[in-house]
């Protein structure tokens, strides 16, 4: 078995490298267990989940003091998909539990991407190819994941749940308001812990069956986007072929998401889909990881009217850390995009969505999060406004949506 596994792992690494290399925005592919699969994943991570500036990262004493008083929330992180044990510190990639604790991060949204087209790009993708199937076969995911996207999402949720159970309290999975309240109370006493909630990138993970939404909810998923890199039966993607709006099935999906204790995420959605969602939503809408065109033009970033529309729902725009989103390679670029979003939406509707470990380069890994606080101070934000952007807004939106 060793020789075929080595070839498969090499093929998986090659496919992952090629696909990731085509991106200027988030994507990540889940990798399973086994020495060859882990090695292939590590090779690709070292190439794709890079940092522009090596640590250790040091903020000013003023920024560090403020940062350690904050509840920092990152709405979108792809680390779960790379197959690493997140309880252990890695020398590559962006996120694991030790680095989250070092960076003072209280809560992250860990995303699951269940299907990604080969040669994926920002402009136009269809759903006829899928590199995640190759990885599921080569890297020894459970057999059911070879053909079921729903099973892939459940597999990734199981991995997080297992890590949380083995963490001795260092990592908490947040599934309810009670979980969130209890965790935040515990963290106020012991800051050397962190937590995560689960999100889905693309409703294709439902395997075209709306009833599977409850299956994902029972598995712990609390945020869902109708599309990722291709159009789905529910909605158009910003990177799809048709790039249309919500379908009838998508409208029903929105209704069910809003009643199921989940947050709808319009990241990667087409402009028409976002407009449809904003016209129909009765609960806060989130763009978990994005940029704003007021600061950085581009298809991946939100125009002014949609930034304002998300704010009007009571929702949140999460500013990304990669250059396509924030326009630069340092914390100051992130802060400038935050300021532009605040100008449009108001400070209560802006947050952070780094896209750490999303096959994109970022200025720093999770240990550098105090640099964002420092950059926001330099941008002229007050301590209270910084507290809102760095996490208080995200806690508010999540607490309102989570089941009791």
- Span 106-144, pLDDT tens digits: 999 999 999 988 888 888 989 998 888 877 776 788 999
How confident is the model at residue 27, as a pLDDT?
Answer: 35
How confident is the model at residue 40, as a pLDDT?
Answer: 66
Rounded to two decimals, the pTM is 0.90
Q: Report the chain's terminal Cα–Cα distance, integer Å.
A: 48
What's the rounded mean pLDDT across residues 190-197? 98
Report the candidate in 349, 342, 352 with the shortest Cα–Cα distance to residue 372.
Answer: 352
What's the rounded mean pLDDT across residues 187-194? 97
Ordered DSSP codes for 43-101: HHHHHHS-BSS-S-----HHHHHHHHTS-EEEEEE-GGGG---TTS--SSSS--HHHHH
Tell me how far CA of residue 162 lies from CA of 87, 113, 152, 173, 403, in angstroms. 11, 19, 15, 10, 22
Confirm whether 141 is domain-assigned: yes
pLDDT at 184 over 90: yes
Confirm whether 56 is domain-assigned: no
Domain extent at residue 138? 2-50+62-401
pLDDT tens sequence across 383-398: 999 999 999 999 999 9
Confirm whether 197 is domain-assigned: yes
In the chain, % of residues over pLDDT 70: 90
How confident is the model at residue 19, as a pLDDT?
Answer: 38
Q: Domain containing 194 — which CATH number? A: 3.20.20.140
Phi-psi region of 19 (alpha: psi -120 to 50; beta: other; left: phi over 0): alpha
Confirm whether 6 is domain-assigned: yes
pLDDT category at 35 given cuts 50, 70, 90 is low
3-state DSSP: the chain helix, strand, coil percent, rounded to 5? 45, 15, 40
Confirm whether 378 is domain-assigned: yes
Q: Where are the beta strands (DSSP E) in 293-349?
A: 301-302, 316-319
Confirm whether 109 is domain-assigned: yes
Q: What is the 3-state secondary structure (H, E, C) of 140-203?
A: CCCHHHHCCHHHHHHHHHHHHHHHHHCCCCCEEECCCHHHHHHHHHHHCCCCCCEEEEEEEECH
Q: What is the 3-state secondary structure (H, E, C) of 205-244?
A: HHCCCCCHHHHHHHCCEEEEECCCCCCCCCCCECCCCCCC
pLDDT at 41 over 70: no
- Longest CA span, the chain: 60
How confident is the model at residue 23, as a pLDDT?
Answer: 33
49/206 Cα distance (integer angstroms): 28
Q: Residue 238 burial (CB < 10 Å; 0-12/13-18/19+)?
A: buried
More confident: 33 or 166: 166
Tell me how far CA of residue 198 lies from CA of 153, 286, 324, 331, in angstroms. 10, 14, 24, 26
More confident: 395 or 359: 395
How confident is the model at residue 380, as a pLDDT?
Answer: 98
How confident is the model at residue 36, as a pLDDT?
Answer: 56
Mean pLDDT score across all residues of the chain: 90
Lowest-confidence segment of 39-43, 210-214, 286-290, 316-320 by average pLDDT: 39-43
Contact 96, 90 (CB under 8 A): yes
Report the candidate in 96, 53, 56, 98 with the shortest Cα–Cα distance to residue 77.
Answer: 96
Q: Is the dihedral of CA 68, 69, 71, 72 positive or negative?
A: negative
Confirm whether 380 is domain-assigned: yes
How confident is the model at residue 38, as a pLDDT?
Answer: 61
Write b or e for each residue in 346-360: b if 16 or more Cβ atoms lie within 10 A of its Cβ, otherwise e: ebbbbbbbbbbbbbb
Confirm whether 57 is domain-assigned: no
How confident is the model at residue 31, as a pLDDT?
Answer: 37
In the chain, % of residues over pLDDT 90: 78
pLDDT at 53 over 80: yes
Contact 192, 170 (CB under 8 A): yes
252/234 Cα distance (integer angstroms): 9
Instruction: Compute the radius of gyration of the chain from its Cα atoms.
Output: 19
How confident is the model at residue 137, as a pLDDT?
Answer: 79
pLDDT at 382 over 90: yes
pLDDT at 12 over 80: no
Stretch (H or E) spanning 383: helix 383-387
pLDDT tens sequence across 228-266: 989 999 999 988 899 999 999 999 999 999 999 999 999
More confident: 29 or 347: 347
Number of domains in the chain: 1
């Amino acid at each position: 078995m060793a020789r075929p596994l080595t070839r498969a792992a090499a093929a998986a690494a090659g496919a992952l490298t090629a696909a990731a290399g085509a991106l200027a925005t988030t994507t990540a592919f889940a990798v399973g267990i086994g020495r060859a699969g882990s090695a292939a994943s590590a090779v690709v991570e070292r190439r794709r989940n890079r940092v522009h500036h090596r640590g250790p990262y040091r903020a000013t004493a003023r920024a560090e003091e403020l940062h350690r008083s904050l509840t920092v929330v990152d709405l979108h992180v792809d680390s779960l998909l790379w197959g690493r044990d997140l309880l252990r510190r890695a020398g590559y990639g962006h996120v694991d539990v030790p680095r989250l604790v070092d960076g003072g991060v209280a809560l992250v949204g860990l995303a699951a991407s269940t299907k990604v087209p080969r040669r994926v790009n920002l402009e136009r993708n269809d759903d006829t190819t899928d590199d995640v199937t190759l990885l599921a076969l080569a890297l020894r995911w459970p057999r059911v994941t070879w053909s079921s996207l729903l099973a892939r999402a459940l597999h990734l949720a199981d991995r997080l749940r297992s890590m949380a159970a083995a963490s001795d309290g260092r990592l908490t999975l947040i599934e309810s308001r009670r979980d969130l309240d209890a965790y935040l109370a515990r963290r106020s006493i012991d800051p050397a812990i962190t937590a995560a909630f689960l999100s889905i990138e693309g409703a294709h993970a439902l395997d075209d069956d709306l009833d599977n939404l409850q299956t994902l909810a029972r598995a712990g998923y609390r945020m869902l986007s109708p599309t990722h890199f291709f159009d789905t039966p529910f909605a158009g993607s910003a990177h799809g072929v048709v790039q249309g709006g919500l379908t009838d099935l998508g409208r029903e999906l929105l209704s069910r998401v809003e009643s199921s204790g989940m947050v709808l995420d319009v990241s990667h959605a087409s402009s028409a889909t976002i407009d449809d969602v904003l016209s129909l939503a009765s609960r806060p809408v989130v763009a978990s990881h994005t940029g704003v065109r007021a600061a950085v033009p581009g298809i991946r970033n939100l125009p002014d009217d949609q930034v304002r529309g998300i704010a009007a729902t009571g929702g949140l725009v999460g500013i990304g850390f990669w250059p396509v989103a924030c326009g630069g390679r340092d914390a100051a670029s992130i802060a400038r995009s935050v300021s532009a979003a605040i100008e449009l939406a108001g400070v209560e509707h802006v947050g952070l969505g780094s896209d750490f470990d999303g096959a994109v380069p970022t200025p720093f890994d999770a240990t550098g999060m105090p640099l964002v606080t420092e950059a926001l101070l330099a941008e002229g934000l007050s301590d209270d406004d910084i507290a809102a952007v760095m996490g208080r807004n995200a806690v508010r939106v999540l607490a309102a949506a989570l089941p009791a």
